[in-house]
Amino acid sequence: MTDTPSSAPKDPAGGDASVRGGDPHPGSPPNLPPPQGAPTPGPQYGPPGSAPADQPVYGYQQLAAPTTLDVGNAISYGLEKFRSNMAPWLAVTAVGVVIYLTFLLVVQTFEPNSLLSLVLLFLAVMVGLWLLQAAMVRGALHETDGVKPVFGSFFQVLNAGNVLLTALLAFLGTWLGLALCVLPGLAVGVLCMFSLHFVVDQDLGPIDAIRASAMLVARNPVQVLLLALSVVVITLLGLLACGIGVLFAGPVCVLAVTYAYRGLTGGRLVPA
């Protein structure tokens, strides 16, 4: 009677050791890596300190590592971009001046004396200004993409609903913080600094946009705070110049903040 040859021993993982390339002798576990292209068993982890590969980060998934922000470069970028495409920026900013003057004219002409009428009129003006702010963000994003926007380009692809809800939440949070104590209100204002950029650029909803803005500011608190202070100073200087300076200060500030947004998120940023 002829003996039947025994099959190759199985490795501890349940596979055939002779097929997998390991030591065919029992008691010697294979020590070679799996064939090229085969999946590695067990959970996959990145480098120490990194998040799992499939875990999204709100608002700026393209940001691989924290970047730095030079506030001087941001202001210079805003000045240069405004100087090289001044006419459309002045025209858009003039729309804001018209909205404000219309508000003053209505108040002086009709002299509304009820609180409700004043609140409704104020909200109407704020809606116009918030939409205009989003339009200026859209134009600034065109500039960072290397495209000089014309007047109509400022109003392209704006999700008015998300813009208004985001601006309203940021406005209420800021004023609520100011009513409780000045510092919390200022903190909320700075944390929401990039919220409209996330809405316009990445089409995020109001909550996600505010969260993404707060996370971005929290990663770069010193640089963003210096930028915010610079924006306030430039705006005040514009107001002191008989108000006409706002026509110049507004675009420069929006362009500088957009430069910071694109730089800190690792987005497209064409040099001035």
Scan for tokens 């002045």, then name that residue: 90
Residue 188 binned pLDDT confidence (cut-offs 50, 70, 90): very high
Over 50: is that where the pLDDT of 200 sits? yes
If one compares 110 and 219, the residue with the highest pLDDT of the two is 219
What's the pLDDT at 68? 78
Over 50: is that where the pLDDT of 232 sits? yes
Over 50: is that where the pLDDT of 201 sits? yes
Residue 67 binned pLDDT confidence (cut-offs 50, 70, 90): low
Over 90: is that where the pLDDT of 1 sits? no
Distance separating alpha carbons of residues 209 and 214, to the nearest angstrom? 9
For the stretch 37-66, what's the b/e string if a residue is b when 16 or more beta carbons lie within 10 angstroms of its beta carbon? Answer: eeeeeeeeeeeeeeeeeeeeebbbeebeee
Tell me which range, 20-29, 97-106, 227-236, is most confidently predicted by mean pLDDT: 227-236
Q: Which is nearest to 142 in space by CA: 84, 94, 222?
A: 84
Over 60: is that where the pLDDT of 15 sits? no
Residue 58 binned pLDDT confidence (cut-offs 50, 70, 90): very low
Torsion of CA 17, 21, 27, 29, to 10 degrees: -100
Residues with Cβ within 8 Å of 115's Cβ and at least 6 positions away in sequence, in order, are: none
Share of residues in the chain with pLDDT > 70 (%): 75
HEC string of 54-112 equals CCCCCCCCCCCCCCCCCHHHHHHHHHHHHHHCHHHHHHHHHHHHHHHHHHHHHHHHHCC
For the entire predicted model, the pTM comes to 0.75
Distance separating alpha carbons of residues 147 and 270, to the nearest angstrom? 9
